[in-house]
Amino acid sequence: MNKLNTKELVNKYGFKFTKSLGQNFLTDQSVLDDIVNSAKLTKDDVVIEIGPGVGTLTKELLEKAKKVYSIELDSSLVPILQEELKEYDNFTLINKDALKVDFNELIKDEKVKFVANLPYYVTTPIIAKILTEGYNFDSLTIMIQKEVAERIGAEPGTKEYGSLSILVQYYCDVEIVRYVSSNAFIPQPKVDSIVIKLLKLDKPRTEMKDYTLFMKIVRQSFNMRRKTLRNGIKSMKILSGEMIDKAFENAGIDGGRRGETLSIEEFAQLSDAILDLL
Ligand code: SAM
């Protein structure tokens, strides 16, 4: 394993890790190379990085991209990043919680690429925010906990398949870039990681009449994994049993199936059929 100078930077500035902020800094050069290469950056690209840490990934992004906005919550990293990256005039540091940033203020009329080694504790809310708030982005190349990456990329009928798979696959194609062992970080986390690339589709994977109802039905179906789809929908109490049967018939879906076997397109058909009878 070819080591980055992460440990030296941590020692040089006497940086103290805050566990609750998901601070596990990358030390393996090959992982960093794979993240940057799979993001396919050019000098036309604007990048948003979430959680730069001591700036090891940021530096590579600054070399490859036109402009990099890095959003870091921990104020004690600000002087380190300012000093270490002072030679780059294409760098902007934003000392804020990424969940509270309106990315449109940064993006304006450009299309951006998100690249990040995300803090574990906030991975899903950050992904959900980027996907659902309608930002003009090209892709997200992110390192996240292995299990979460497996859920994101899961196919119908598997135990990993769930509402997160549907949320992400509705908007994006999913590419698993590589597996990363927990010993590629300091401090070493308890879990392994995966680098994943989410490429935004030109338009969402399927059409439906009401996205909110669709997601409600998806969540309900996965919350009650042991029930048949029909019984899961019944406990939502939005339609009578008879009307539920009619909705399944109209959608051409067997209500005796388990929710986890339905594709995104089938969930859309079912939610449209239910909406028509409400
Ligand atoms: N990019 C660095 C690397 O690869 O070594 C650090 C990655 S570390 C897994 C996650 C970083 O996200 C930390 O620097 C942490 O302080 C920062 N962070 C945690 N929560 C955040 C939030 N809500 N908004 C922005 N940054 C956050």
Give the range of the structural domain holding residue 265, as residue numbers without chain letter: 211-277
Q: The tokens of 263 are what?
A: 């594709």
Q: How confident is the model at residue 63 (pLDDT cuts 50, 70, 90)?
A: very high
Q: What percent of the chain is modeled with pLDDT above 90?
A: 91
> Ligand 1: residues within 6 Å at CB?
21-26, 50-53, 56-57, 71-74, 77, 97-99, 117, 119, 122
Confidence at 226, pLDDT banded by 50, 70, 90: confident
CATH number, domain containing residue 263: 1.10.8.100
Whether residue 193 sits in one domain with residue 108: yes
For residue 130, with 0-12 CB atoms within 10 Å meaning exposed, 13-18 middle and 19 or more buried, which class applies? buried
pLDDT above 60 for 191 = yes
The protein residue with its alpha carbon nearest to ligand 1, atom 17, reads 51
pLDDT classification of 1: cutoffs 50, 70, 90? low
The pTM of this model reads: 0.95
Nearest CA to 229 out of 168, 167, 271, 170 is that of 271
- Output the six-digit token pair for 53: 């840490």
Binding site for S-adenosyl-L-methionine: residue ranges? Answer: 24, 26, 51, 72, 97, 117
Q: Which residue is closest in CA terms to ligand 1's atom 22?
A: 97
- pLDDT higher than threshold 90 for residue 108: no
Does 53 have pLDDT greater than 80? yes
In a domain, 112, yes or no: yes
What digits encode the pLDDT tens for the residues 234-258? 988 888 989 999 999 999 999 999 9
Nearest one of 31, 82, 24 to 60, comparing CA atoms? 31
Q: Please state, as a whole number, how many other Cβ atoms lie within 10 Å of the Cβ of residue 16.
A: 9
Query: Among candidates 186, 159, 132, which has minimal Cα distance to 24?
Result: 186
- For ligand 1, atom 19, name the residue with the nearest CA: 21
The reply to whether 164 and 219 lie within a common domain is no
User: Using 50, 70 and 90 to split pLDDT, how confident is the model at 195?
Assistant: very high
Please tell me the distance from the alpha carbon of residue 265 to that of residue 267, in angstroms, as a whole number: 5
Q: Are residues 143 and 56 in the same domain?
A: yes
**Residues 80 and 218 reside in one and the same domain:** no
Work out the pLDDT band at 95, boundaries 50, 70, 90: very high
Is pLDDT at 111 greater than 90 in this prediction? no
Q: Which residue type does 144 have?
A: I
User: Which of 180, 200, 220 finishes a domain?
Assistant: 200
In this prediction, residue 202 has a pLDDT band, given cuts at 50, 70 and 90, of: very high
Does residue 221 sit within a domain? yes
Task: State the total domains in the chain.
Answer: 2
Q: Which range (149-163, 174-188, 189-203, 212-226) has the least confidence?
A: 212-226
Q: How far apart are CA 245 and CA 256, in angstroms?
A: 10
E strands present in 57-171: 67-71, 91-94, 112-117, 137-145
SS3 97: coil
* CA 78 to the chain's CA centroid: 25
Residue 206 in domain? no
**Burial 73-85, CB ≥16 within 10 A → b, else e:** bbeebeebbeebb
Check residue 166 and give its pLDDT. 97
**Same structural domain, 87 and 33:** yes
Query: What share of the chain in percent tops pLDDT 70?
Result: 99
Q: Given this model, what pLDDT does residue 117 score?
A: 98
Instruction: Return the minimum-mean-pLDDT range out of 142-146, 186-190, 191-195, 227-231.
Output: 227-231
Residue 2 has pLDDT above 70, yes or no: no
